[in-house]
Amino acid sequence: MPCAQRVCVARGRVAWRGGHGSRPDLGVDAIAQMGRILQRVVGLDQKLRKGSGHPLLGTGSIHASLIEGGQEWSTYPARCLARLERRTIPGEDGASSAREIEELIADAHLEDSAVDASVDVSLERAASEVGADNPVSRALAEAATAATGNEPEAIGVAYWMDMALLNEAGIPTVAFRSFRRGTHADVEWVDLASVETCVRVYLRAAEILCGGSGR
C-alpha cells in the first residue's frame, strides 16, 4: 500500500502594539507573545506523535520552520510572523490543520487577552494512498519480482511525491525507485544498475497492464 504524506504549511500572524523601548508601559512585544503560541505548537506536536497514526506512515507532526518580526533594537516589535509546517497523514488536511492552530490561538488568548493572531494555509499537497490490491500495485509487484527475484515490500514514506497529483486526478499511481542516497543533500547520487532495473520493471508493468505477454 504505497502512500505519500501530505505537506501543509500554515502561517500564523501576531500583531500587538509596538512602541519605543523606553516606554514599556505602552509597548507590547509581539515576538514574545508569539512564544505563547509556539509553546502550544510544541505541545500539539507531542500530542500528534502519541496518536494512533497510520499503519504505514505513523503519525503526523508539526514544527516551526521560520519566524520573523521586529524593526530595530530600540523598539517593541509590533508584528511577528511564524511559518509552521504540518506534516499530515491520510484523513488530515489543510482545513483540519488550520483548525488546530486556531484552537492554539484561542487557548493563548484565554491566557492573555492581548493575543491577537490569525492563521492561513499557504501551501497544501494532497496525501496519496493506493491499495496493494489495485491493478497498478499488482502489476508493479509482479514486474519487480521478475526483475529482482524478490517480492517488493509495500511501504509508506513520510514525504510528498508528484504521484499524489495523479492519484488526486483519479489516475492510480504507485512509486518504485532506484537505489540512491543523499536526497536533497549537497552530495546526492543514484546507483546506475538500479536505474536499469527500474526501466525493466516499468516496461514489464506497462506490458502487464496493457495485456501484453512481453518478451
| Tens of pLDDT, residues 15-35 | 445 565 555 666 678 888 899
Residue 54 in domain: yes
Is 98:121 a contact under the CB 8 Å cutoff?
yes
Give CA separation, 153 vs 28, 77, 118, 144, 170, in Å: 55, 52, 43, 10, 24
CATH code, domain with 183: 1.10.150
Tell me which residue range forms the domain holding 147: 130-209
How many domains is the chain built from?
2
Q: Are both 110 and 137 inside the same structural domain? A: no
What the block records as the C-alpha cell of 108 is 493563548
Q: Are both 53 and 159 inside the same structural domain? A: no
Q: Are both 179 and 113 inside the same structural domain? A: no
Which has more confidence, 200 or 153? 200
| Tens of pLDDT, residues 155-189 | 888 788 888 889 889 999 998 877 777 677 788 88
Amino acid at 168: E
Beta bridge partners of 124: 8
Q: Is 91 exposed, middle or buried (0-12, 13-18, 19+ CB in 10 A)?
A: exposed
pTM above 0.85, yes or no: no
